[in-house]
A and B are shown apart, each in its own frame.
Chain A
Amino acid sequence: MPWSEAMIKSQTKLPASDPSKGRVLNYTAALNEALTLALELDPNIFVLGQGVDDSSGMFGVTKGLPDKFDSQRVFDTPLSEDGMMGVCVGAAMNGMRPVYLHNRPDFLLLTFNQLVNHASKMHWMDSGQTSVPMVVWAAIGRGWGSGSQHSQAIQSLLMPVPGLKIVMPSTPYDAKGLMLAAIADNNPVLIFEHRWLMKQQGEVPEGIYYVPIGKGVYRRRGDDVTVVGTSHILTLALEAVDGLGDQGITADVIDLRTLKPLDENIIFESLSKTGRLLVIDTGWQMSGVCAEIACLAAEKAFHSLKAPIRRIGLPDLPTPAGFTLEQFYYPNAKNISAVIQKMCQ
């Protein structure tokens, strides 16, 4: 869809990449490389999903794979999201490693019976006799009328479910390394990608490497406030923080990279220095990722806090489709900047 491509390109703030640091790839090429390497590495890995073999190749993520691998390794599926998720669970329980791709997380809502009632629990319920090594991937949409049913960031709905892992990358390096780590993991791992990150470029090493699941990373170091988040909104936070230097405000910006398991320690470590916490998420604020992290901080790092915890997520409303309403709905770098300034007053 050229319209959405054009808009995503216009929305992407391309960070300066230094080719001297290594090879530069764009986000979808990094994911494509991860899948290619995984398929070459292990014959038990297979990639499926509606449209994985069409000409656009799932935003480019699966482009070329059907030519390189046979049709049992990379295949288009019936829509049947619930049924196909169960097929992945059953295949994973019996020696295979499916990687099931979806255009949007909204469609995963049809699969909750298999994800929540089955995939997540099988290993525990049968006392460790079975594993369910599978990856479920979906790209959060935004803008150009995606609207209420093509833009939902549902990570917080799955975060409380024992047995799942949830990954939310924000850079091409992480997208590749986390995809490879997710495929190598012996548990059901969900990867929530964001459509607006897909034009990003960055240093991506060749070959196989793994970004550890459950470990956050500092994207900026500062003294006044700790900003914690993942995925696309983290890039907005970086923009906000980078713009506050003139006012003498600096921040630790922590990219959690994975929401479950959650790297609490990096948050507490930073808080012990800054004493101020802003949690940001691409999903709903109500009972969301921000709420959980804020609660953890209040429970376990209260003594570090100098100011009330703040959170920025989506309002308690469905996503509007129209352009003007969307501008009111989504947080932006300016909102984030304003909240940080207020916290530091």
Chain B
Amino acid sequence: MIRFHYQGQGYYNIDLSTYEQAFLHNLYYAMLRIRRIEEEIERRYCEDEMKTPIHLVIGQEATSVGSCAALKTDDRIYATHRTHGNYLAKGGDLKAMISELYCRANGCVASRGGSMHLLDKKAGMDGSSAIVGGIIPIATGSALAAQLQSSDCITGVFFGDGATEEGALWESLNFAALKKLPVIYFCENNFYSVCSPLKNREPAGTRIDKKADAFGVNAEQVDATNVIKVYEATLRAILRINSGAGPAFLECIAYRWRGHSGAGDDSHTGYRDPKEVLHWETVCPVATFYNALIDQGLLHENQARRMEEMINAEIKEAFAYAINSPNPVYEDLNKFAYSD
């Protein structure tokens, strides 16, 4: 039984030619790159050399790419345990990421975080928490800092539908609305928290965006299989923030194709119907955008093939770099016990 159906309209009636081709290509390239990187991580995961719990973002790439395309480099984002998509879309360094997955000394946090704690402050990927909802107040504090410093930095924070069952989210929304903080809350609703479907966790008919709206935070629901919809919703949020009207909440709906963690789909364990996964694979964020671009004559197959080649080469290089990187040494353990 398919419990959660796709309710969007794809790229029907969206005229992509209003955007510059280079911009559209960048969006496609960014989503394809995340997909291929995730597939390569997944393919090699069984080698047991990446000793870190992975949470693949396959199926949800458009949320990271569409939102980060609207944000500036020096805007800050904060993430959950499912960091890969956010990190890459914001411009995080791929070699440092793969090295971190391989527990190497030159990983982005020197093997102290692993997959769940990717960080690249130069790119504005500023932190994550593996405690559900834990990063949301911290991101809200980042926005408070920006406000107190009269900076134009906007903070974006990503979290799942599970976080909407944590008090920390609602405490944060209340404070952000009170102070009109420059923060965008991206709720990535993929219907499942680990194996628990929404129906076990929230009353039937609950609209997450409406709850956020009730806290005085401007909220909307977004088809997050559609990168353009996410991009445009993020732009609206930024405009609103820049007008001084305060925070925004985007409920980004897309499906998690893989299991909560590890490699592969785990539908066979019984918590969801494999047909549901197949249903959402028909609205793949990468493929639907590709088809729309091809249909509207904005991308040629040759260009797409070249992108594949570039991505493959980059991935090969990054994995080779990581595998050949040094492990941490004993002395590294005691560094940074306190900040000087």
Residue from the list A89, A95, A133 in contact with B149, Cβ < 8 A:
A95
Q: Contact between A163 and B338 (Cβ–Cβ < 8 Å)?
A: yes
Chain A's closest residue to B333 (CB) is A124
Greatest chain A CB density within 10 A among B127, B146, B171, B338 is at B338
A82-B141 contact, Cβ under 8 Å, with A96-B148, A130-B127: no
Residue from the list A44, A82, A94, A126 in contact with B168, Cβ < 8 A:
A82
Residue from the list B112, B142, B336 in contact with A94, Cβ < 8 A:
B142
A117 contacts the other chain (Cβ, under 8 Å)? yes
* Surface stretch bound by A, among B59-67, B131-139, B251-259: B131-139
Interface residues on B, range: 35 or more
Q: Contact between B148 and A72 (Cβ–Cβ < 8 Å)?
A: yes
A93-B113 contact, Cβ under 8 Å, with A72-B148, A123-B338: no
Bound together, the chains give a CA A86 to CA B199 distance in angstroms of: 29
CB distance from A150 to the nearest CB of B (A): 22
A337 contacts the other chain (Cβ, under 8 Å)? no
Q: Which residues of A contact B336 (CB under 8 A)?
A: 123-124, 127-128
A114-B142 contact, Cβ under 8 Å, with A86-B168, A128-B339, A163-B337: no
Q: Contact between A86 and B339 (Cβ–Cβ < 8 Å)?
A: no
A17 contacts the other chain (Cβ, under 8 Å)? no
A289 contacts the other chain (Cβ, under 8 Å)? no
Q: Contact between A87 and B339 (Cβ–Cβ < 8 Å)?
A: no
B126 contacts the other chain (Cβ, under 8 Å)? yes
* Surface stretch bound by A, among B1-9, B14-22, B48-56, B172-180: B172-180
A92 contacts the other chain (Cβ, under 8 Å)? yes
Q: Hey, what's the 0/1 contact readout for B308-340 against A, CB within 8 Å counting as 1?
A: 000000000000000000000000000111111
A128-B335 contact, Cβ under 8 Å, with A83-B168, A86-B141, A94-B76: yes
Bound together, the chains give a CA A133 to CA B340 distance in angstroms of: 10
Q: Which residues of B contact A88 (CB under 8 A)?
A: 141
Q: Contact between A90 and B140 (Cβ–Cβ < 8 Å)?
A: yes
Bound together, the chains give a CA A92 to CA B126 distance in angstroms of: 13
Residue from the list B117, B126, B140, B178 in contact with A86, Cβ < 8 A:
B140
A78 contacts the other chain (Cβ, under 8 Å)? yes
CB distance from B120 to the nearest CB of A (A): 9
Residue from the list A78, A93, A117, A165 in contact with B142, Cβ < 8 A:
A93
A122 contacts the other chain (Cβ, under 8 Å)? yes
Residue contacts A-B, CB under 8 angstroms, 26 given: A46-B148, A72-B148, A77-B175, A78-B178, A80-B174, A82-B137, A82-B167, A83-B174, A84-B137, A84-B171, A86-B141, A86-B168, A87-B141, A87-B144, A87-B172, A90-B140, A93-B126, A94-B126, A96-B145, A113-B134, A117-B131, A127-B112, A127-B336, A130-B121, A163-B337, A186-B338
